[in-house]
């Protein structure tokens, strides 16, 4: 019996689409990168190649010109010894020197007359041939050496020449000694330099191109993977992680996205828990109100039981009202519509009144509220007293709810430098160390099983921050939780 192979075509299609997306990302950025980098490198290489070619040409022609000039100076210096002889003897000496020129294998030496006709040449006899370049006429006119670089009009060959006038003792020009060299070897050297520069330029561009392809691939493939994972996170796959392969900026980006994914997952979980918690918190008082309402409607309940039922209904209704107000305030804070009604007030006096009233309530629950009085003068400060009362009541309520088993809560208010510092401590089990950084986050309840929505401390923290202060929570020495509220007095 043969084996039946089952394949998932949808999975293969998704894999192909992911590869196509990755290729598009890599291709798009690679093209932009290579265009920009190759344009820059090409411009630099072209500039350097041009500079090298020009420098090589200047050097080669400069060396050739120096050689011609040195040869001309040496030869004319020798002939100056004959310029004091008779004109005919001087003329004959120039012709003889040209005909017996020792360096004829690499240079041509010409003796040229005043009209440009070639009177003698180291290459052999000339018949009715004249020099058509400007170096001879310029040497006669200026009575100084003249250079020429260009094509010989009669042969079309590129040459370099130097013409030096031979001046007789009475100032008359006997003729011009003209040293001529072909630039073929020099042009060949320059051409070889150009070819070398082009080959180097092409090699550099190819090296840059392939090295950048490898480099870009090492960046863009992880980037494409990060992009794909980010899209999955945006699509709702919260908590998914990117494999970190590099300890560089890409690795840091992967860590950041992984941290973001974890925080979004945590936030989603907290919001889900918040909805569940609020649903439970709402259901409990509503159940009590509905139950007692139905009982009272039956009409056969004694007055004492009726009074008890109405008391429970009122208490649960107040609790519902408090939860709704807390949610509304949190919504205002999130939307930026939360405002303060600031005025000058004696916050300690309000705080002591609140402690007195709240203390009687805590005594009914068997919790002792200890106020550490002091005679220190505390000035009035600008704040919203109702909001600050809300903050203190919420902290006290949390202390009773989470640390009530310690049966004692201590509170104090005093000045420390330019800040009004209020401390509220319970003697309960405290907060697990790993939960301390998160307790002020919205919707966060941690491992606590106490009733609540998880947004009370977040609202309190926002109120204190709007006053320019800070709210901190820490585990106190000896057990329990210490909450510290610091408000600037001079702000």
366 within domain boundaries? yes
pTM here is 0.45
- Strand locations in 287-394 (E): 343-345, 368-372, 381-383
Other CB atoms within 10 A of residue 92 CB: 13
**Residues 184, 291 share a domain:** no
State which residues form the domain around 313. Answer: 249-335
162 within domain boundaries? yes
Domain closes at, from 282, 317, 335:
335
Listing DSSP states for 229-295 in one string gives HHHHHHTT-TT--PPP--SSHHHHHHHHHHHHHHHHHHHHHHHHHHHHHHHHHHHHHHHHHHHHHHH
- CATH number, domain at 269? 1.10.287.130
**Residues 443, 464 share a domain:** yes
**Residues 305, 365 share a domain:** no
**Residues 387, 348 share a domain:** yes
Listing DSSP states for 7-75 in one string gives --HHHHHHHHHHHHHHHHHHHHHHHHHHHHHHHHHHHHHHHHHHHHHHHHHHHHHHHHHHHHHHHHHHH
Nearest to 458 by CA among 435, 481, 482, 441: 441
**Residues 258, 218 share a domain:** no
Question: How many residues can be counted in the chain?
Answer: 491
4 within domain boundaries? no
**Residues 21, 80 share a domain:** yes
Q: Helix and strand tally (H, E) in the chain? A: 9, 12
Nearest to 482 by CA among 436, 414, 444, 425: 425
225 within domain boundaries? yes
- How many domains does the chain divide into? 3
How far apart (Å, rounded) are the C-alpha atoms in residues 20 and 137? 76
7 within domain boundaries? no
pLDDT of residue 454: 62
Domain closes at, from 212, 237, 262:
237
**Residues 156, 60 share a domain:** yes
**Residues 372, 284 share a domain:** no
User: Number of C-alpha atoms within 13 angstroms, CB side, residue 174?
Assistant: 25
**Residues 351, 373 share a domain:** yes
243 within domain boundaries? no
**Residues 194, 292 share a domain:** no
C-alpha pair distances (Å), 43 with each of 35, 49, 50: 12, 10, 10
How far apart (Å, rounded) are the C-alpha atoms in residues 79 and 72? 11
How far apart (Å, rounded) are the C-alpha atoms in residues 319 and 300? 28
481 within domain boundaries? yes
pLDDT of residue 85: 67
Domain closes at, from 316, 335, 354:
335
**Residues 297, 231 share a domain:** no
1 within domain boundaries? no
- CATH number, domain at 42? 3.30.450.20
Question: Could you list the pLDDT tens digit for every one of the 491 residues in the chain?
Answer: 444 444 455 545 555 555 555 455 455 666 776 677 778 888 888 888 889 889 988 999 999 999 999 988 888 877 776 666 677 777 888 888 888 888 888 888 988 888 888 888 888 776 568 888 899 989 888 888 999 999 988 888 899 999 998 887 667 788 899 999 998 988 898 899 899 988 988 888 888 888 877 777 777 777 777 777 777 777 777 777 777 776 777 777 778 888 887 777 777 776 666 666 666 667 777 888 888 888 888 777 778 888 888 888 888 888 788 777 777 776 776 666 677 888 898 998 989 988 888 888 888 888 899 998 888 888 888 898 888 988 898 888 888 888 778 888 999 999 988 899 999 999 988 888 888 877 777 666 665 655 555 677 888 888 899 899 999 999 988 888 999 999 998 75
How far apart (Å, rounded) are the C-alpha atoms in residues 455 and 330? 7
Q: What is the Cα 216 distance to its own chain's centre?
A: 16
C-alpha pair distances (Å), 422 with each of 50, 170, 479: 77, 118, 19
- CATH number, domain at 468? 3.30.565.10
- Strand locations in 286-401 (E): 343-345, 368-372, 381-383
**Residues 286, 140 share a domain:** no
């Amino acid at each position: 019996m043969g084996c039946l192979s089952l394949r998932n075509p949808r999975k293969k299609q998704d894999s192909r689409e992911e590869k196509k997306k990755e290729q598009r990302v890599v291709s798009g950025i690679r093209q932009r990168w290579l265009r920009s980098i190759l344009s820059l490198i090409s411009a630099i290489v072209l500039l350097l190649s041009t500079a090298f070619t020009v420098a090589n040409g200047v050097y080669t022609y400069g060396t050739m010109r120096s050689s011609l000039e040195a040869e001309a100076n040496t030869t004319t210096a020798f002939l100056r010894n004959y310029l004091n002889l008779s004109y005919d003897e001087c003329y004959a000496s120039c012709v003889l020197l040209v005909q017996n020129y020792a360096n004829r294998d690499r240079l041509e030496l010409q003796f040229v007359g005043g009209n440009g006709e070639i009177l003698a040449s180291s290459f052999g006899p000339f018949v009715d041939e004249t020099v058509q370049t400007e170096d001879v006429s310029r040497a006669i006119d200026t009575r100084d050496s003249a250079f020429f670089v260009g094509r010989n009009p009669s042969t079309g060959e590129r040459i370099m020449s130097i013409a030096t006038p031979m001046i007789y003792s009475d100032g008359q020009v006997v003729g011009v000694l003209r040293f001529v060299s072909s630039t073929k070897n020099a042009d060949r050297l320059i051409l070889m330099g150009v070819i070398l520069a082009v080959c180097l330029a092409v090699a550099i561009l190819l090296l840059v191109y392939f090295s950048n392809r490898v480099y870009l691939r090492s960046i863009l493939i992880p980037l494409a993977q990060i992009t794909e994972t980010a899209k999955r996170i945006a699509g709702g796959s919260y908590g998914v992680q990117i494999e970190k392969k590099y300890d560089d900026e890409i690795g840091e980006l992967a860590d950041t996205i992984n941290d973001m994914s974890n925080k979004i997952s945590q936030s989603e979980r907290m919001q889900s828990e918040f909805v569940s918690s609020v649903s439970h918190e709402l259901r409990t008082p509503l159940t009590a109100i509905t139950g007692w309402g139905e009982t009272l409607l039956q009409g056969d309940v004694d007055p004492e039981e009726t009074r008890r039922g109405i008391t429970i209904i009122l208490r649960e209704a107040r609790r519902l009202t408090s939860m709704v107000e807390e949610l509304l305030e949190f919504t205002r804070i999130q939307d930026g519509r939360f405002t303060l009604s600031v005025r000058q007030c004696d916050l300690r006096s309000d705080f002591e009144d609140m402690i007195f009233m709240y203390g009687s309530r805590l005594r009914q629950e068997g919790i002792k509220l200890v106020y550490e009085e002091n005679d220190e003068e505390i000035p009035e400060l600008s704040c919203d007293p109702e909001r600050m009362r809300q903050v203190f009541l919420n902290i006290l309520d949390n202390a009773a709810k989470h640390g009530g088993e310690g049966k004692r809560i201590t509170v104090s208010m005093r000045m420390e430098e330019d800040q009004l510092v209020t401390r509220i401590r319970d003697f309960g089990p405290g907060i697990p160390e790993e939960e301390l950084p998160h307790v002020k986050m919205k919707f966060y309840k941690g491992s606590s099983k106490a009733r609540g929505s998880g947004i009370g401390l977040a609202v309190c923290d926002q109120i204190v921050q709007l006053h320019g202060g800070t709210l901190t929570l820490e585990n106190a020495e000896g057990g329990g939780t210490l909450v510290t509220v610091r408000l600037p007095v001079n702000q």
